[in-house]
Chains A and B, each alone.
Chain A
């Protein structure tokens, strides 16, 4: 089941309308394909503001299925706390040749 975000640090996930690619809201209100680069919003107000921007992006036909998720900040960047959200950032664990994990590190 969908996991409710309830922590103080959250990011915003979505899927790109055109190809269904998983994306996250990055800093500067751009959508990034790498969850490590997802912006981390601290506290209820910041999260609400980010979500409202994301919802507007939904209206602008950029993304669909916007939702917040709990994250933590690590040396390697933003890391979702829940397994489901981590897998969304990687690809199928049974096909390491597919999904984001199969790509060359972003240039």
Chain B
């Protein structure tokens, strides 16, 4: 199938010329293509029997290729979650030609293909490289793909564009001689506004933009030592304010301390969160400060010229001057309640007058959270070209975003999305569930997670009921590794194995936002059927207890867990 599924171009520029994706220079391109050819040779040698699986496994993992329950799985990086429509079409094509017609977006803003054949993978990687994409740094003990806030460069509350610093971090960390073999994988998240939309406090390092009220300088609050997995920790605040130009030096200091002290003897204790918590946060922060004082700071100073150069990749698209109010938008809302409902959950305020940020739900009721078919990807690419400068973003909540839509265009956009099964008005609501692949795909799983999400969404299918409940985040993992973020779900669900049967624990009170919190297990688990009723019991308890205007997490904070426990277990 030709890769030209593109609407008529309205100018002689490609429709995604203004998509704010980082465009590789010749050096990057050469590097990526060389890596592909290297991998091709390694796969050939593997298939001829010249290298063993033991030798090959680390190589394939470095290229994003895992072996799962039913097949190989290829994890492709989406740097900072940004895609051009050309890249989206390429992903659609790869899914159709080499896989089974769909891709799965993950909580790390990556996309996974679940059925590639080993012999096709080098060709897939080549197809990716042609559009500046790759699967490097999606695995291994390196600094992984830096994640950011999905509304970067568009949000009304933004202080600094996190992509610029994410890209600086990428350039600093890729091939950093000291940081290719860290004690363990390392994940950094950056949010460019004071409102955390990137779950930064459950990352190894998390940065939240901050403005120094006195000097007016912009910088980041730096958090360190957060993580999920089997031993979850919220990050501790290492410094309240690091000016943007000092951020690399400060992170270098953190990484150096970790690289020396991180435990390489025990894979379960090797993450920085363990080092921080075994040593005590104060002591660890003290060591960071010592190291930072010792560093040749000038060497790590972020050069404004480099910032400017990188900024050009993320230059704002050519917005036009629009009235703040769109008459056609207001009229459509008044005329079509289903559209009005979507605007209440799936739109976010844009910093530019007359524009809005639209979240495309990949959580149709009863669908698989995060899955998108090739044809849906192509629809999204076309709509991005028409309405959002050819740019698409991936969120850590497994949805997509068109960041720069004219208010005038929102109604036709939504109609087209809805026709493709992408118009569900549920962003942030109970059916906008994060779920890991679980036992349906994952070789490490204890239980399934996807069908639990599907059945909860179906139980609460009535959108009016969902809107009435308000923001409520359910997150489900099929095992202790916590890929589904259950620790930070308002309602978290963790699958455990109980004598070969699927069993599900409920956690309450987690939060991935600015008031980050880890949920607590509420009591004994539930079986595969019981878990759906248990979630409904929790929700009904909330409805009975809530005060006007409260969302679930606020009611829970006010009442504590006791009434929920009672409702869940009283009758047992």
Contacts and interface: CB of A to CB of B under 8 A. Distances in A.
A87 B69 contact: yes
B47 A18 contact: yes
A63 to B, nearest CB: 9
A92 B444 contact: no
A77 B116 CA distance: 29
Given A87-B440, A99-B70, A93 B451 contact: yes
- Chain B interface helix/strand/loop/mixed: loop
Given A64-B67, A94-B368, A98-B100, A20 B445 contact: no
Nearest to B119: A18
Contact of A94 (B116, B118, B440): B440
Contacts of B445: 84
Given A20-B72, A83-B439, A59 B497 contact: no
B448 interface: yes
B450 interface: yes
Contacts of A19: 71-72, 117-119
A81 B454 CA distance: 26
A72 interface: no
Interface in A67-96: 81-84, 87-88, 91-95
B450 A94 contact: yes
Nearest to A64: B53
Given A83-B502, A98-B100, A60 B71 contact: no
Contacts of B443: 2
Interface string B479-519: 10000000000000000010011100000000000000000
Contacts of A1: 444, 446, 479, 497
Interface residues of B, number: 35
Contact of A22 (B53, B69, B440, B501): B69
Contacts of A8: none
Contacts of A18: 47, 117-119
B70 A88 contact: yes
Contact of A20 (B47, B117, B454): B117
A42 interface: no
B441 interface: yes
Interface string B415-445: 0000000000000000000000001110111
A93 B53 CA distance: 29
A65 interface: yes
Interface in A1-27: 1-3, 15, 17-22
Interface in B434-476: 439-441, 443-446, 448, 450-451, 454
A87 B116 CA distance: 19
Contacts of B47: 17-18, 61
Contacts of A22: 69-71
Contacts of A88: 69-70
Interface string B34-77: 00000000000011110011000000000000011111100000
A20 B118 contact: yes
Contact of A92 (B67, B72, B117, B440): B440
A64 B446 CA distance: 22
B376 to A, nearest CB: 15
Contact of A61 (B49, B69, B440, B502): B49
Contacts of B48: 61
A90 to B, nearest CB: 9
Contacts of B116: 20
A89 to B, nearest CB: 10
Nearest to A97: B100
Contacts of B440: 87, 92-95
Nearest to A100: B70
A69 B434 CA distance: 31
A11 to B, nearest CB: 16
Contacts of B502: 83
Interface in A33-64: 58-61, 64
Contacts of B117: 18-20
Among B49, B68, B69, B72, the one with the most A-chain Cβ atoms within 10 Å of its Cβ is B69
A20 B63 CA distance: 16
Nearest to A63: B53
B43 to A, nearest CB: 10
A29 B71 CA distance: 22
Contacts of B441: 92
Contacts of A2: 443-444
A94 B451 contact: yes
Among A61, A82, A93, the one with the most B-chain Cβ atoms within 10 Å of its Cβ is A61
B49 A94 contact: no
B67 A65 contact: yes
A60 B46 CA distance: 11
B448 A93 contact: yes
Nearest to A99: B70
Among B48, B70, B100, B502, the one with the most A-chain Cβ atoms within 10 Å of its Cβ is B70
A12 B445 CA distance: 19
Contacts of B118: 17-20
Nearest to B453: A94
Given A1-B446, A61-B49, A92-B440, A20 B501 contact: no
A59 B441 CA distance: 26
Nearest to A82: B500
Interface of A: 1-3, 15, 17-22, 58-61, 64-65, 81-84, 87-88, 91-95, 98-100
30 contacts: A1-B446, A2-B443, A3-B497, A18-B47, A18-B117, A18-B119, A19-B71, A19-B72, A19-B119, A20-B70, A20-B72, A20-B116, A21-B71, A61-B46, A61-B48, A64-B67, A81-B500, A82-B500, A83-B439, A87-B69, A87-B440, A88-B69, A91-B70, A92-B441, A93-B451, A94-B368, A94-B448, A94-B450, A94-B454, A95-B440
Interface of B: 46-49, 52-53, 67-72, 100, 115-119, 368, 439-441, 443-446, 448, 450-451, 454, 479, 497, 500-502
**Which 4 A-B residue pairs are closest in the complex by CB-CB distance?**
A92-B440, A20-B72, A20-B71, A61-B49
